[in-house]
Chain A
Amino acid sequence: MTPTTADLPAHEQVRLLKAGELSALDLVNAALDRIAAVEGRAPSLDTYNLEPGDLDKIHAFITITADEARARAHQVDKLIGEGEDPGPLAGVPLAVKDIFCVQGTLSTAGSRILGNFTAPYTATPVSRLEADGAIVIGKVNLDEFTFGSSNESSAFLPAVGNPWNPAYVPGGSSGGSAAAVAAGEAALSLATDTAGSIRQPAAFCGVVGLKPTYGRVSRYGLIAFASSLDCPGPVARNVRDAALALNAMAGPDLRDATAARVAVPDFCAGLEREIRGMRIGLSSDYAKLKYPDPETGELVEQEISAEVQAAVERAAQVFAGQGAEIVPEVPMPNTRSGIPAYFVISRVEAASNLHRYDGVKYGYRTPDQVEDLPELYRRSRGQGFGPQPKLRILMGMYVSAEQYEKDYYDRALRVRTMIRRDFERAFDPEGQYRLDALLTATTPTTAFKLGAVYGDSVLMQYADLLTVAANHAGIPGLSIPAGLDSTGMPIGIQLLGPDFSEAALLQLGWAYEAATESEAWRSIKPLVLRSVAVEG
């Protein structure tokens, strides 16, 4: 089976472009044709009523910048015509999560309160990807302000469908990113991960998602959720593409004081290196945890899905088969505290960041007649925010109130230290475990159905159970596809490593891809693509 242009990996698209077999315009047009074939009606702020056919389509894009993309493609083709180097991502169609500012483009955060906001500047990771030749073809949907794990909380509906079965959620908050990449609507997406928002949707949609180390990629131009946890990173169709994208976006930035001044390696250079001797840990603390029972909502100790756990164990065998050393029973006892601590820390930071939306400087202002400024604030925010931002503001204010701060916020920050110490112990080069990476499932289950969880903010938060610890600790995490479950939905596995160890994680991810290249599940296409006519 020959993949169509839109389904080619980004690095393959670039190779064909540089070989003169395809133009940048061909690449952009292939993505736009695919969008036309699978997208369905565009998500909007209008009152939403489910229509027949909504559950067959992807609905990933809030904004499609077709004209700008074609104009940029012409520029890339012109550069090539003049014998210039168009860059390592030349012509690659890029979908930007609508939480990043792109100058002159609607930048909505999936919220009514920014529904009319046109960004006056461009986020650093976007401009760096563009500088490497990538072409922004549009802005993709997300949970409102990234607050969710299913994309259903966006103010822009219909909700994004999972390309493997559009009646299922794509995950979140970067659901539009993962769905667009899985469906061939873009070869790459720029997304963000605050508790798992890159890795969880990547797992649900059968694509690669990389949350870099906190500080590896600038947050300048990212609409803030939880500033100590937010990480921009790529969603891609394979590990090499993720490495190429990270090459483009990583590095210090004077406009973000938390963007770390550390050396940036070439993440592609060591991909194919042998993994012999690398130490990969397994932890039963990632296989059995306390999370809400889906029926009763009660927090109970339970094992993650057997099919997902089996994929982790199979992957360990694959790594062992290539000479990696598998280290069993690495204790990660504080993993289970990740969500409770996150409920506190992320809400406090979110409440602080959401105070800027006031109906005065930019964004939504109530059209109602109001008496005075406080009423303007209350009404604009009441009408502009959906339920999830409201919940986060209220909880953040509650747990940081002076009389409760010590019991909750302060306590959560100490638990965060304990989570970080679990990883430091596991990765300590002088310690007992000396891991290069910890191998876990990305999610406790595969994708769930649209409507199955949304509304229950506790159950939804626990979708990030296995990913959030990396955000608390700041360490990098890579989710890669590792098979399909018995219903045909993708399973993701996760590799976690020490600070700034993305190159090693990508190397392991590439080794896994190479070793499993011929497995039958890799030739199965997402459901929405099975009916798409094969184009050139």
Chain B
Amino acid sequence: MPENANTELARSLDEATFRHLVKLAALELLAEEQVYLRGELNQQMRAIRELEAIQIDPGTPITSHGVPYTLETSPGLRQDEHQPSPEADDILAQAPEVHERYLVVPDIPHEDLE
């Protein structure tokens, strides 16, 4: 089977897959936003499908950083020492809701395991 045989994905993003992605992404979307986003995702998939036509030699490695990332050029490891943040109060001041230096959130749903 050629590497690019997964044409089913390439067709288009169906409603169920879109809903699943939106749920995973933790986004509440308006109806008109959903139409726009799904349309654009499908347009982008047409561009991404250009990748399928590229002949890739089987041994080609992946590149996760363009510039080689080596021991010589990367900074040395820092000492494993506790360094308190001097700006803890400034950081906490950015939180939408704080109580006695705890971040306040609404109910966290949970299930009791058997």
Contacts and interface: CB of A to CB of B under 8 A. Distances in A.
B80 interface: no
Interface in B34-61: 36-37, 40-41, 43-44, 46-52, 54, 56, 60-61
Contact of A261 (B36, B37, B75): B75
A313 to B, nearest CB: 28
A448 interface: no
A472 interface: yes
A76 interface: no
Contacts of A414: 56, 60-63
A372 B3 CA distance: 44
A361 to B, nearest CB: 6
Contacts of A377: 26
A340 B95 contact: no
A279 interface: no
Interface hub of A213, A258, A383 (most chain B Cβ within 10 A): A258
Given A390-B37, A391-B40, A228 B105 contact: no
Interface of A: 117-118, 120-121, 213-215, 228, 252-254, 256-262, 290, 292, 297, 299, 336-337, 339-341, 343-344, 351, 358-365, 370-379, 381-383, 385, 387, 390-391, 393-395, 397-399, 403-404, 406-408, 410-418, 420, 456-458, 461, 471-475, 499
A394 B37 CA distance: 9
B73 A260 contact: yes
B27 interface: yes
B73 A261 contact: yes
Nearest to A337: B54
A264 to B, nearest CB: 12
A341 B69 contact: no
Interface hub of B21, B27, B36, B67 (most chain A Cβ within 10 A): B67
Contact of A417 (B44, B49, B61): B61
Contacts of A297: 43
Contact of A118 (B61, B62, B63, B94): B94
A393 B90 CA distance: 29
A370 B96 CA distance: 14
23 contacts: A120-B93, A253-B75, A260-B73, A292-B47, A340-B47, A340-B48, A351-B25, A361-B103, A372-B109, A373-B108, A381-B25, A383-B28, A397-B25, A404-B9, A407-B9, A408-B48, A411-B54, A413-B64, A414-B56, A414-B61, A415-B51, A458-B46, A472-B66
